[in-house]
Amino acid sequence: MNITRNLLHEWYHGGARTPADVQRLAQENLGLTLTAEKVKKILEDQIPLEQWYQTRIMAAIRQLYPEAFVRKIAAGVYSERGFPDVLVIIDGLYIGLEIKRPFLGKPTPLQLDTIEAIKRAGGTARVVCLPEEAVEAIEYATAGL
């Protein structure tokens, strides 16, 4: 059996977060003994680029929260580094979403510092990989309303 994107997402939903988790689950569930290098190659081949996740996350938010203001923050030479990828404003609440690829993406120290600064200022900010995590962040932020 091949390790597909869908299977990797299923494992991620089940709590797997690291290449070592994938290596362990491949052995336990599929009887595959994989080297760390092979797991890395599988992840790089099967996990789409960050933009793929951003598109799906924004679509999910727009579908579930049509009244929300949702924007992709452009990254580039003239943009501020460390700023979350997606901005959501709903019911007057600011929510910053830093999108990362499951298993592979890691926030930079500057991104983590920015997330903490947003929280100190009264907003919500999180690192998310899948649409469900983004929706969870919005539900958390709006729970008291």
Residue-wise pLDDT for 18-42, tens only, equals 999 999 999 999 999 999 999 999 9
Q: 3-state SS of 17-84?
A: CCHHHHHHHHHHHHCCCCCHHHHHHHHHHHCCCHHHHHHHHHHHHHHHCCCCEEEECCCCCCCCCCCC
Residue with tokens 């091949």: 2
If pLDDT is split at 50, 70 and 90, which confidence band does 77 have? low
- The pair of structure tokens assigned to 78 is 């003239």
pTM above the 0.85 mark? yes
pLDDT band, residue 46 (cuts 50/70/90): very high
- The domains found in the chain, sorted by start residue, are 5-46 (no CATH), 50-142 (3.40.1350.10)
pLDDT of residue 11: 96
Rounded to whole angstroms, how far apart are CA atoms 145 and 105?
32
pLDDT exceeds 70 at position 116: yes
Higher pLDDT, 116 or 82: 116
Residue 123 has a pLDDT of: 95
Residue 62 has pLDDT above 90, yes or no: yes
Of 71, 86, 94, nearest to 128 (Cα)?
86
Residue 15 has pLDDT above 70, yes or no: yes
In tens, the pLDDT along 120-129 reads: 999 999 999 9
**pLDDT at position 79:** 66
Q: Is there a contact between 50 and 105 (Cβ–Cβ < 8 Å)? A: yes
Q: Mention every residue, 6+ apart, whose C-beta is less than 8 A from residue 140.
A: 124
- pLDDT above 70: percentage of residues in the chain: 95
Cα–chain center distance at 54: 8
